[in-house]
Amino acid sequence: MIEPVNNIPSFTQLSEDKALSSIRQTPDELKEVAEQFEAIFLNFFLKQARAAKLAEDPLSNSASKTYRDMLDQEYATSLSGDVDLGIAEGLMRQFGKFVG
């Protein structure tokens, strides 16, 4: 019979350790990651806004949906650099103490 091993870290512990070790880099890398997170947040926001449509588009198909998703992702990336939502700055303030 195989006995269970109790000293193996859980997936949560591994992901937390990896996340903390990746945070402990330079302030420039933290800023880049915070801006990428802001872009992900904006992309989610745009997806939710599109999901709240009032009527079905008669010319809609899978190709146009894929194109809209890719375009929304580019919009989110562009907006995260142009529009100051404060998410990236908040993340930098919160995690800045772990950098360096």
Query: Domain-by-domain residue ranges, the chain?
Result: 31-51+59-100
3-state helix/strand/coil string of the chain? CCCCCCCCCCHHHHHHHHHHHHHCCCHHHHHHHHHHHHHHHHHHHHHHHHHCCCCCCCCCCHHHHHHHHHHHHHHHHHHHHHCCCCHHHHHHHHHHHHCC
What's the confidence (pLDDT) of residue 71? 92
Give tens-digit pLDDT for 51-82: 887 667 777 888 888 998 999 999 998 888 88
